[in-house]
């Protein structure tokens, strides 16, 4: 479980960094709301927004799966999510070639695997 918490903490730091990045860019470009039609601003906003859309759900599902599956599964999903989100943000910001595609695919894989694992675990639970 420590790997999960380290990855969750690093994803939180990444969210803070992307928030600061968007704020600094807003100041530099004098764009107070939205993206102002600026492609660079749009990419920064979407890199942050996409992280905030997917990371919490994936982390919650991985955490819930930790009650039913072993350390390796939870650690693997946690690390895969962290790498996927780094790739995606790096790709959106133009730092990692093909990062957006790879990050999207990996995030979707983590989300799908986590969902399947939870559904399987749920089928085995007894209701009283």
If you compute the radius of gyration of the chain from its CA atoms, what whole number of angstroms results?
A: 17
In the chain the domains, ranked by start, together with CATH numbers, are 2-121 (1.20.120.550)
pLDDT of 8 higher than 80: yes
What is the band of 127 on the pLDDT scale with cuts at 50, 70, 90? confident
Question: Are the beta carbons of 1 and 73 closer than 8 angstroms?
Answer: no
What is the band of 126 on the pLDDT scale with cuts at 50, 70, 90? confident
Q: Report the candidate in 88, 31, 84 with the shortest Cα–Cα distance to residue 58.
A: 84
Question: Are the beta carbons of 14 and 54 closer than 8 angstroms?
Answer: no
Q: How far is CA 89 from CA 54, 58, 60, 71, 126, in A?
A: 12, 16, 20, 27, 41
d(CA 3, CA 56): 16
């Amino acid at each position: 479980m420590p790997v999960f918490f380290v990855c969750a903490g690093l994803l939180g730091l990444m969210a803070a960094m992307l928030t600061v990045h968007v704020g600094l860019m807003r100041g530099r470009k004098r764009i107070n709301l939205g993206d102002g039609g600026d492609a660079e601003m749009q990419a920064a906003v979407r890199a942050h927004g996409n992280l905030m859309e997917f990371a919490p759900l994936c982390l919650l599902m991985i955490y819930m799966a930790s009650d039913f599956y072993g350390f390796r599964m939870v650690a693997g999903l946690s690390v895969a999510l962290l790498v996927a989100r780094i790739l995606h943000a790096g790709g959106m910001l133009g730092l990692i070639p093909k990062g957006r595609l790879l990050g999207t695919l990996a995030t979707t894989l983590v989300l799908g695997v986590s969902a399947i694992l939870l559904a399987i675990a749920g089928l085995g639970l007894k209701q009283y």
